[in-house]
Amino acid sequence: MPKLTRLAQVSASGTLVKPLLHQFVMDPRADVPLNLLVQRPMPRRPDGRFHASQHPLMTEHELYQWLTGGLAAGDDFDESAYNVRMAVMAGSLFHAIIEAFLAWTGRAVPLPQGDCPSCGRPYRPLRARPGFRYCTEFGFAHPATRSSAHLDAILNFGDTRAAWSLAGDDVYGFDFKTIYPFGLKGVRDMDTAQFREKWPKYWAQGQECMRLSGLRKYIFLFMTMGSPWETREFHLDFDPAFAMATEEKYLAVISHLERGVPILA
């Protein structure tokens, strides 16, 4: 298992993933295969569920529209969105690199056996050939609030030989995000307040993933899409008040739907 080295100097105190990524990139002994079998990301269509990456900050009116098919992600096909769509596709390729990197660290928790609670596909077995029939991310679902989530990974920074739990102090949910060149200018590692102000949707996504999974800590790692390939790392703690407010909002919308009472505004 790789160890932190003087490369940690490139990061703010307390970062866990970023120093290992620098070591992975620079170490010629890190000879690992890169699985580039990725599927083009497509706009999500209404499916009767609330998703961690999309819905926690929506109003009750917007959520009701989503459940009834009146609000779909990606309905705007204006050509001005070209740069956004291209960035999403390229980001999917970078996720393949991050998947290989996380496996190399030895800190990524293996996927469980069985089917993913979020998408229903079987989890990819440890040595199975890559294929679209498998789910390669941790999935969680909460039927009472019709909500679900996928996480890029779960990382265990404790003793990997010992028993662990999702709520453990050394266990983190993890998501990787790409951003345009110089998109991290002026942004500091580990500044959670700045992270929430600049990317409130991602902050809410992390909170929702923790609500659904039982995790109590979360890491976001950002990388710019191009030279100088800057990275920033942020750690989130679980916010129970936000989780409760999200759950109550979802339940209220579901109640309106089941009673046939529209939410008009």
Q: Is residue 141 over pLDDT 80?
A: yes
Domain ranges of the chain: 9-39+51-259
Residues with Cβ within 8 Å of 207's Cβ and at least 6 positions away in sequence, in order, are: 56, 218, 236, 238, 239, 242, 243, 246
pLDDT in tens, 54-94: 999 999 999 999 999 876 555 544 555 788 778 888 888 88
Strands 171-179, 153-156: pairing kind: antiparallel
Q: Find the DSSP H helices in the chain.
A: 17-26, 60-67, 82-105, 192-198, 200-213, 240-259
Question: What distance in Å separates the CA atoms of residue 108 and residue 174, rounded to the nearest whole number?
Answer: 9
Q: Which pLDDT tens digit goes with each residue over 212-264? A: 999 999 999 999 998 999 999 999 999 999 999 999 999 999 999 999 999 99
Q: State CA 3 to chain mean position distance.
A: 25
pTM: 0.91
CA atoms of 73 and 50, how far apart (whole Å): 12
Distances (CA, A) of 81 to 4, 221, 225: 40, 24, 17
Q: Which CATH number does the domain 9-39+51-259 belong to among 3.30.70, 3.40.50, 3.30.390, 3.90.320?
A: 3.90.320
For the sheet with 231-237, list strands across it: 153-156, 171-179, 217-224, 231-237
Token pair, residue 149, equals 């989530």
